């Protein structure tokens, strides 16, 4: 599998040729429409967490067929990297079902789970690509996650500036930012007494150059860490993205493939995005050599996944992949509201009750404000995610469905104009790295209300 990228590169240079627009409209979209109809994939807002396994089966088959039809389009060569069913099924069989992440006493084990299972999930906390101010704010923001022992792994935020200079993708500042990010997240982990934590990056590296620069056993990203590598929407890649794969494989680090299809984009709405997400998971394994996959679909308008469509997609994709493969999946929490608001915590809770019963091995969050505002990510919402997910582990799908709908009703009215909340600096004590009394009070209040709804947060 480690030399898969050479074969993929060959196929990127010899596969069927087509213009990108034709790929989008005639090859991808036409097939997608046909598959949705053929397999009867239908979004039901009353059934966010379906219990009927036949939908999961149909969704998986549709996603697989889509992937076999489209392959992955290489933007640089205008060719499709295609695979046959035998090699796809072999790759799914060979995919890891268990990973040991991190180093030394900070290791954790991510493992395949089953539907309605009670195996604990791995919790990945962090700003996850959001812009975080450089210097001590960057370190302290990440420490606010590291401090919570129940958060097993960390995912980094990006540096918009380095020593006051704006970071530009592809420019020398990207290299500087990538290296600086590595040392700062490692420092945050070290100060929290968890220097061996599995840390996923490299958020400041828009291109492969930054990713390569971030390789640093001592003071940056280690092989025991992880690299986020996307399958570009929808079902595409590029030479630069493949360079990230090569670097990660050669550095012998964990590859976290990002599956981020867009609701309201070329894939259409809930049904199309769900099918595309399944295909993108498979693409992540075959093209990105993924160890695990981030399931992170986004609404094109709001950059979140907490409306009814978003919750349904998480649920059905998780079920489809779990019932048909042992691929390790991570449910990504993109929320609309910001820190220090009750709406954010309700949005996290609604997602949290769904991920465990749908078979996800792990969760990642929280993308507060859709990661659109600098310094608007804190450890406390990740801690809430952790408590809610742990409380929901063991919940059956039927119960999760009702709870998710109830929790959704708590923030539905605020979805169009969500409160953006406060910055880390405004809702945390920067000396003690503890939440402000206001943020802590909101946390305790919402936790109590969620408990009253039947989720024992502990």
Partner 1 sequence: MRRDQNLKKVVQATINGDKEAVKSAISDALSAGVDPEKVIDEGLSKGISVVGEKFANGEMFLSQMIFAAEAVKAGISILLPHISKEKAEQIRLGTVVIGTVKGDIHDIGKNLVAIYLSTAGFDVHDLGVDVDPIDFILKAEEVNADIIAMSSLLSATRVYQRDTVKYLEDTGKRNKFLLIVGGRAATPEWAEQIKADGYASLAPDAVDLCKKLVLKRSKPT
Stretch that binds partner 1, among 102-110, 261-269, 317-325, 448-456 (CB under 8 A): 261-269
For partner 1, the closer of residues 34 and 449 by Cβ is 34
Among 96, 196, 264, 394, which residue interacts with partner 1 (rule: CB under 8 A)?
Answer: 264
Q: How far is CA 109 from the centre of its chain?
A: 18
| Residues 268-307: x where in contact with partner 1 by CB under 8 A, - otherwise, as a string | xx--x---------------------------xx-x----
Number of residues that bind partner 1 (CB under 8 A): 39
Residue 170 touching partner 1 (CB under 8 A): yes
Place of tokens 């408590």: 387
Q: Which one of residues 4, 57, 75, 191 is an interface residue with partner 1 (CB under 8 A)?
A: 75
Q: How far apart are CA 122 and CA 119, in angstroms?
A: 10
- Is residue 133 within the footprint of partner 1 (CB under 8 A)? no
Site membership for partner 1, residue 78 (CB under 8 A): no
Kindly tell me which of 91 and 177 has the beta carbon lying closer to partner 1.
177
The reply on whether position 168 binds partner 1 by CB under 8 A is: yes
- In the bound state with partner 1, the residue whose beta carbon lies nearer, of 375 and 383, is 375
The nearest distance, CB 421 to partner 1, in angstroms, is 15
Task: For the segment 367-406, give every residue that binds partner 1 (CB under 8 A).
Answer: 370-374
The one among 265, 394, 398, 419 contacting partner 1 by CB under 8 A: 265
Question: Can you say how many angstroms the Cα of residue 159 is from the centroid of all Cα atoms in its chain?
Answer: 19
According to CB under 8 A, which one of 151, 177, 200, 353 is a site residue for partner 1? 177
Q: Which is nearer to partner 1, 151 or 235 (CB)?
A: 235
Stretch that binds partner 1, among 108-116, 234-242, 314-322, 392-400 (CB under 8 A): 234-242
CA distances from 49 to 30, 41, 399 (A): 28, 14, 9
Name the minimum Å distance from CB 39 to partner 1: 17
> What is the binding site for partner 1 (CB under 8 A)?
24-25, 29, 33, 75, 131, 158, 160, 166-170, 174, 177, 204, 206-207, 232-234, 238, 240, 262, 264-269, 272, 300-301, 303, 370-374
């Amino acid at each position: 599998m480690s030399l898969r990228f050479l074969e993929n590169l060959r196929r990127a240079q010899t596969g069927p040729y087509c213009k990108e627009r034709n790929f989008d409209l005639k090859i991808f979209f036409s097939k997608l429409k046909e598959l949705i109809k053929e397999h009867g994939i239908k979004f039901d807002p009353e059934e966010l967490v379906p219990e009927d396994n036949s939908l999961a089966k149909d969704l998986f088959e549709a996603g697989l067929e889509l992937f076999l039809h489209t392959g992955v389009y290489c933007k640089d060569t205008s060719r499709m990297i295609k695979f046959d069913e035998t090699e796809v099924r072999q790759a799914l069989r060979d995919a890891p079902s268990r990973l040991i992440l991190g180093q030394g006493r900070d290791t954790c084990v991510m493992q395949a789970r089953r539907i309605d299972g009670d195996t604990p999930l791995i919790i990945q906390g962090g700003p996850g690509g959001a812009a975080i101010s450089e210097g001590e704010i960057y370190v302290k923001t990440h420490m606010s996650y590291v401090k919570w022992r129940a958060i097993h792994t960390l995912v980094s935020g990006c540096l918009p500036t380095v020593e006051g200079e704006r970071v530009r993708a592809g420019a020398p500042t990207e290299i500087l930012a990538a290296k600086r990010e590595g040392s700062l997240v490692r420092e945050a982990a070290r100060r929290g007494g968890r220097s061996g934590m599995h840390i996923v990056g490299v958020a400041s590296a828009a291109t492969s150059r930054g990713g390569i620069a971030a390789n640093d056993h001592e003071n940056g990203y280690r092989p025991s860490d992880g690299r986020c590598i996307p399958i570009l929407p929808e079902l595409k890649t590029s030479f630069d993205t493949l360079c990230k794969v090569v670097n990660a494989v050669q550095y012998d680090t964990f590859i976290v493939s990002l599956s981020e299809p867009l609701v309201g984009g070329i894939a259409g709405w809930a049904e199309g995005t769900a099918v595309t997400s399944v295909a993108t998971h498979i693409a992540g394994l075959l093209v990105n050599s993924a160890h695990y996959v981030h399931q992170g679909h986004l609404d094109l308008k709001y950059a979140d996944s907490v409306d009814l469509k978003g919750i349904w997609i998480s649920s059905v994709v998780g079920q489809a992949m779990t019932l048909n493969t042992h691929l390790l999946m991570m449910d990504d929490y993109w929320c609309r509201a910001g820190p220090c608001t009750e709406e954010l915590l309700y949005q996290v809770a609604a997602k949290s009750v769904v991920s465990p019963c749908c078979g996800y091995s792990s969760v990642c969050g929280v993308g507060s404000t859709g990661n659109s505002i600098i310094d608007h990510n804190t450890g406390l919402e990740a801690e809430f995610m952790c408590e809610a997910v742990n409380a929901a582990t063991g919940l059956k799908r039927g119960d999760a469905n009702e709870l998710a709908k109830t929790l959704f009703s708590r923030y539905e009215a605020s979805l169009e104009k969500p409160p953006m909340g406060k910055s880390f600096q405004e809702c945390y004590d920067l000396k003690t790295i503890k939440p402000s009394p206001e943020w802590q009070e909101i946390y305790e209040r919402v936790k109590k209300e969620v408990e009253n709804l039947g989720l024992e947060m502990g």
